[in-house]
Chain A
Amino acid sequence: MSIAIDLTNVSKAFGETRAVNDLNLQIPEGSMCGFLGPNGAGKSTTIRMIMSIIHADQGDIQVFGATALASKDRIGYLPEERGVYRKMKVLQFVEYIANLKGMHGASLRKTIRTWLERIELPEVENKKCEELSKGMQQKVQFLAAIIHDPELIILDEPFSGLDPMNAQVIGSIIHDLHAEGKTILFSTHVLHQAEQICDRIIMIDQGYKVLDGSLASIQAQFDPKVLTIEPVDSSANFTSLPGVESVSAGKTNTSFNLRITDNADPTAVLQEIVAKVPVLSARVAKPSLDEIFIEQVVRSRGTEAADAVRTELHHA
């Protein structure tokens, strides 16, 4: 499979701060790739380098086998710091960005109108951008990023600030674009969003790549430390059982997630529970990306740093 984005030993520093360290990345064409990490991990800097908005201090960046600059018009980019010309009409704004991306012609306005309907904003083409709500503006910004039918779409925190309804509309379009064969690089610090839609995960922390692979392969790399139990009696007490470190509510009202101690064997603990407490179901849970990431931080930076990251993720 061809490589859409190829980063080799890329580094970038701002003064004393090293934002990206010796980063190597290969993103295949047609993949839906989650680019994850907490705030300040180096995601936006990496993306800006891919877009040739800023230049790497070291290393090589190639997009579709050419320099990033030469491939600019083949990329659709929704930056994290995004905005619109407040006084411009919606149609004019999208048309202007499309023109800058090399798109001209009589059918451009028709294409924009079709897309406005698809993002559920059919009546706004002659409204000034400042007249739109923040969520509507974000959808217009998303449209400006993809209007020129790019082969590679880079979305930096595309759902931030969107209500669930609008997030679903945008999510559905991203899904469709992927189905059409577009390569999508999707950056977020809300890890469970990526877990739901990405088939490939790249995780960075403090400018270093800490994880890279398919979601299944990454989950397989980490020892399961959580058991999901649905007891017959919901008042059952699990905390006193050997090997159980903590208990939290599960995804359903009647289930519980049991975190086991680091040295415990999940299968042995599971057998112990089933033997002592009547259960409707009991299984070893797949670790979530949040848990995997925290685990990774514990390995690389210790538990104190992991606690700080856990707090940040829970607030996201």
Chain B
Amino acid sequence: MQYERNYTMRKALTVAWREFKHTAMTKAFLFGAIVMPLLMMGLFIVVVPLLTESNNTPLVGTVVVLAEDDVLEEITIQIERGNTTLTEVLEKLPDAITNDPIASALLATAPKSDITIIEGNPSELDSIKAQVRDGIYKGVIVVPDSTVTQNGNEDKIEIFIPSSFSPNHTDILTSATSRAVVDARLKRLSHNPAAIRDLIRRPRATATRLSNDGAEIQDNEIARRIIPMAFMMLLWIATFTSGQYLLTTTIEEKSNKVMEVLLSAVSPMQLLGGKILGQAGVSAVILLMYGSAVMAGLLAFALGDLVPVLHLVLFAIYFVIAYFMIATIMAAVGSAVNELRDAQSLMGPIMLVMVIPMIIWPVLSEHPNGMLATITSFTPPLLPFVMILRVTASTEPIAIWQIVLSIGVGIVSVVAMIWMCARIFRIGVLMQGKPPSILQLAKWIRQG
């Protein structure tokens, strides 16, 4: 057997591997960080359309109409066009969605109704209602002519349906009838309803930004609003999830009294380094998983070009800065307390600072080159979250010197935070009893 001594790095890597293995290779992690998000995505992609489809069982049967002949004819036309409400919604959807093969396929599953329209005698309304109750007819539509002539004495259009009639089927009848009455009105005045609908349909306007270098960039609402938020959220989820794990494993080692056993084999710095390194792996797994899901989504909608490679490179750099900032904070807090609930009092003020990018996100997104955005993008520990938002939200490229400066400030901050965390960690891991206050932690940094 090989007996090795003083392999500092090897010890830190041994700690790192245990940290990674017992966090990321557990059922709880697989379920919480991988299976759950996948299940939720699955729910949206598969289950919701399925549920919608099951609701949309086609309306099959006979509907009696008590109306003038021209109205009857218009109702027949509208019913044959299918679910008119869905048609109207589809007309308003952006091209990005209606052109997408998956979305089109899902929307195309809307069922076709098979309804026979027959004319009824108004004097037999009570008898027809009875037949609707008995299930012989699917419904009876009563359209008083006053609703078409608009003589100022407008009566109500009434549709009588069985008690078990589904809301979707009701919608088919009410929408078709309303549109039919409008079309009948227009025709009686010798207008062409289809032509008028085309005339009043609002055209889609697109904004094109003229950049200083002479280029023309088409403004994209999705790119401008959602993608920057997605980048920042991704950074948050990846760093805070693993940061939380780092906090809990450190507290667990203290409360389980295994800390002193570990410190008999490794130095506090080897332990801290190993733990941060191990959780960095966990964070990277989370980032890759969610990041690839987002990228896959963008590529599926043919929106891949909204995320340039440069943004991905900067995202990777800011991820490393953000991770080490969060990890050092969490490790320091974890080492200072003995129980998770003690950590809450220390985490309170820290979280108050860390949620600032979330709170000011709308302002940052709207004015990515404004004063607030510029200042906060150089302020640790907000810097990586704000800067990645600015980089992806700004329509004008962020000045190179600002990016370089923020990365520089980030690296210096990370080094300083590791130094402070190490001093707290060294004292904290062996400390029992009452948890320290923020001021006491500052004292430990001076003493350490």
Residues of A within 8 A of B (CB): 48, 51-54, 69-70, 72-75, 77, 79, 81-88, 96-97, 99-105, 107-108, 111, 141, 144-145, 148
Contact = CB atoms under 8 A, between A and B. Distances in A.
A70 B6 contact: yes
A83 B258 contact: yes
> Can you list the 8 inter-chain pairs with the closest CB atoms, starting with the nearest?
A83-B257, A100-B265, A77-B264, A79-B260, A102-B4, A83-B256, A83-B258, A105-B1
30 contacts: A51-B263, A51-B264, A53-B260, A53-B264, A53-B430, A54-B430, A70-B6, A74-B5, A81-B259, A81-B260, A82-B258, A83-B256, A83-B257, A83-B258, A83-B261, A85-B256, A87-B22, A100-B11, A100-B14, A100-B265, A102-B3, A102-B4, A102-B5, A102-B7, A102-B11, A103-B1, A103-B2, A103-B4, A104-B4, A108-B1
B185 interface: no
B272 to A, nearest CB: 14
Contacts of B253: 85
A96 B14 contact: yes
Contact of B265 (A84, A97, A111): A97
A99 B14 contact: yes
A39 B70 CA distance: 103
A84 B256 CA distance: 6
Contacts of B430: 48, 53-54
B356 interface: no
A79 B264 contact: yes
Interface in B248-277: 252-253, 256-267
B112 interface: no
Contacts of A105: 1-2
B3 A141 contact: no
A52 B261 CA distance: 12
A184 to B, nearest CB: 16
Interface string B272-297: 00000000000000000000000000
Interface in B1-58: 1-7, 10-11, 14-15, 18, 22
Interface string B188-228: 00000000000000000000000000000000000000000
Nearest to B264: A77
A34 to B, nearest CB: 20
B18 A96 contact: yes
Interface in B328-364: none
A107 B3 CA distance: 12
A73 B6 contact: yes
A104 B178 CA distance: 81
Nearest to B265: A100
Interface of B: 1-7, 10-11, 14-15, 18, 22, 252-253, 256-267, 430, 432
B76 to A, nearest CB: 69
Given A51-B263, A104-B2, A141-B261, 14 more contacts: A53-B430, A73-B5, A82-B260, A83-B258, A85-B252, A85-B256, A97-B261, A100-B11, A100-B14, A100-B15, A102-B7, A104-B4, A107-B1, A145-B264
A102 B10 CA distance: 9
Contacts of A111: 1
Nearest to A102: B4
Chief secondary structure at chain A's binding surface: loop
Given A99-B14, A105-B1, A84 B264 contact: no
A73 B1 CA distance: 15
A72 to B, nearest CB: 7
Among B253, B265, B267, max chain A CB count under 10 A is at B265
B265 A101 contact: yes
Contacts of B259: 81, 83
Contacts of A52: 267
Among A54, A79, A148, max chain B CB count under 10 A is at A79
Contacts of B5: 73-74, 102
Contact of B3 (A69, A87, A103): A103
B178 to A, nearest CB: 63
Given A53-B430, A97-B265, A100-B262, A88 B14 contact: no
A77 B4 CA distance: 18
A124 B4 CA distance: 28
B257 A82 contact: yes
Contact of B258 (A84, A99, A145): A84
A102 B5 CA distance: 6
A232 B257 CA distance: 55
Among B1, B2, B14, B263, max chain A CB count under 10 A is at B1
A99 to B, nearest CB: 5
B437 to A, nearest CB: 16
Contacts of A72: 264-265
Nearest to A144: B261
Contacts of A74: 5
A98 to B, nearest CB: 9
A107 B262 CA distance: 22
Contacts of B15: 100
B266 A85 contact: no
Nearest to B11: A100
A85 B264 contact: no
A148 B4 CA distance: 10
B226 to A, nearest CB: 39
Contacts of A84: 256, 258
Contacts of A81: 257, 259-260, 432
A89 to B, nearest CB: 11
B23 to A, nearest CB: 11
Nearest to B15: A100
Contacts of B1: 103-105, 107-108, 111
Contact of A85 (B4, B10, B258, B263): B258
Contact of A53 (B3, B7, B14, B263): B263
Contacts of A53: 260, 263-264, 430
Contacts of A145: 261, 264
Contacts of A51: 263-264
Contacts of B18: 96
A100 B266 contact: yes
A100 B10 CA distance: 8
Contacts of A144: 261
A96 B262 CA distance: 10
A4 to B, nearest CB: 16
Nearest to A76: B264
Contacts of B11: 100, 102
A46 B178 CA distance: 91
Contacts of B10: 102
